[in-house]
Amino acid sequence: MNKIAQELNKVLEGTIALELLSDYGKRFYFPKGIAAQSAEAKKHAKVLNATIGMAYLNREPVEHSAIRHQLPQLAPEESVAYAPTGGDNALRKRWKLEIVRKNPDLDPEKISDPMVVPGLTSGISQIADLFADAGDPVVVPDMFWGNYRLIFEGRREAVMHEFPFFTPDMKLNVEGFRTALKENAHNGKVILIVNFPNNPTGYSPTADEAVRLVEVIRELAEEGLKIVAITDDAYFGLFYEPNIFTQSLFTPLSQVHENVLAVKVDGATKEDFVWGFRVGFVTFGSKGLSQDHFQALGNKLMGSIRASISNSSRPAQSILLRAMESDGYIEEKNRYFESLKERYFEVKRIIEERKNGLALKPLPFNSGYFMSFRFEGGSAEALRRDLLFEKGIGTISIADTYLRVAYSSIDIEDLPRLYEEIFSSADAVK
């Protein structure tokens, strides 16, 4: 094992982080090579800097005029230069301020600085590399984003364990959550992924349900279970009902117990309406960890980033940072939020007033981009195909049982027509 990896493991010795790391995670480190030396030179090489493989002219990175024409407000250092492996430092600091602003119960001194990754998929994948070995259990509700399976089972050979997201009376299945964690732990370890607002259902826990979920984690941790708790916060903030828990579950989980390592994976993708920017963030929190421990984990994560994607897009980070620092940034985001909220209430009205498509049973939804139906009249895939090929309407079928509708992508005036076509097809397809 590399000496730097050994040193990082020594820093983490006696903590839950070291116990939970995969074999890959224990072996990984950020080398003191080109990237590290270049970063050091950027701070201290005030005369001339001959460390990094970029072309300079007049002491600025070379920038093709066709590129400069597209990005006229960005300096070459902001547009075409490499970003640091862990992300633009100013953006990381600003994102942390935003996390704390949106999660007022968080203590910024008790979480790590966010690290930039190219989108939430990359963030979850990096965490899977660092913490999931072959055979490790990964607990998810049965309504989950399908990419989890590729990441954990396909890439890491971990084993997914599902539990029903909702009870038969359509309540969040807190006891199923408890049972799945307890029964599927392997060697006292389990990886948990929670995704609120949920994709594909568009459901977030109420304040009471959030308390109960955290209490389950606390009780199991007190019994000795060691938990990697990943909060996939892709749609964070898009909450439409007053009784929803409006902070990330990362907030209470980051301080719930020494046996819990909480990992927040979030990003600008949906929160800032920049889907193609691919700017995500990874933040660690745990009751038993200090900033020295977070730094060691961060070095392991940076090593993993360096070995896979090297660094994230510089222009996307620069544009995002400038946008976040601009006047009216939050106000405009709020206007888009209100537009999505109006669509949510329009969809609720349509479903409550419908007179056909009764074989479609809506699952609970209160947030995010989506809602889903359980199709009790036959094959959800057959329904999807009928809508697509007979009516030119795109939806997503899941497990041949559920139909997911992204009402976020439909203008409010088109929603009645969309749902009327869905309902009529459901009556026709058996």
Model pLDDT for residues 17-28, shown as the tens digit of each residue: 999 999 999 999
Instruction: Pick the last residue of a domain from 50, 80, 110.
Output: 80
Quote the radius of gyration of the chain (alpha carbons, Å). 23
Distances (CA, A) of 39 to 57, 85, 172, 197, 220: 20, 9, 47, 37, 42
Instruction: Pick the last residue of a domain from 56, 80, 104.
Output: 80
Distances (CA, A) of 101 to 98, 106, 412: 5, 9, 30
Give the model confidence (pLDDT) of 301-350 as tens digits.
999 999 999 999 999 999 999 999 999 999 999 999 999 999 999 999 99
Looking at the chain, the whole-number percentage of residues with pLDDT higher than 90 is 86
* 316 & 391 share domain: no
Q: Indicate the pLDDT class of residue 88, thresholds 50, 70 and 90.
A: very high
* 76 & 9 share domain: no
Predicted confidence at residue 36, as pLDDT, reads: 63
Residue type, 238: L
Residue type, 300: K
Reduced DSSP (H G I as helix, E B as strand, rest coil) percent helix, strand, coil of the chain, to 5: 45, 15, 35
Question: Measured at the alpha carbon of residue 290, what is the angle toward residues 286 and 295, in degrees to the nearest 5?
Answer: 100
Burial class of residue 232, CB neighbours in 10 A (0-12, 13-18, 19+): buried
Residue 49 scores a pLDDT above 80:
no
* 12 & 54 share domain: no
Predicted confidence at residue 47, as pLDDT, reads: 73
Predicted confidence at residue 41, as pLDDT, reads: 65
Average pLDDT over residues 170-195: 96
Q: pTM for the full model?
A: 0.95
* Tokens of residue 110, six digits: 């008790």
Give the model confidence (pLDDT) of 399-419 as tens digits.
999 999 999 999 999 999 999
Average pLDDT over residues 110-117: 97
Interstrand relation of 115-117 and 280-285 (parallel, antiparallel or unpaired): antiparallel
* 317 & 401 share domain: no
* 129 & 165 share domain: yes
* 315 & 367 share domain: no
Give the model confidence (pLDDT) of 254-287 as tens digits.
999 999 999 999 999 999 989 999 999 999 999 9
* 339 & 393 share domain: yes
* 69 & 89 share domain: no
Task: List the single range of 63-67, 142-146, 420-424 with lowest mean pLDDT.
Answer: 63-67
Q: How many domains does the chain have?
A: 3
Predicted confidence at residue 26, as pLDDT, reads: 98
Residue 385 scores a pLDDT above 70:
yes
- Domain boundaries, position 387: 329-428
* 378 & 421 share domain: yes
Average pLDDT over residues 187-201: 97
* 24 & 66 share domain: no
Q: Which of 175, 166, 135 is nearest to 362 (CA)?
A: 166
- The phi and psi torsions of 294 (rounded to 5 degrees) equal -60, -35
DSSP helix/strand/coil, 48:
coil
CATH of the domain at 414: 3.90.1150.10
Specify whether the CB–CB gap between 317 and 91 falls below 8 A.
Answer: yes
Average pLDDT, the chain: 94
Residue 235 scores a pLDDT above 80:
yes
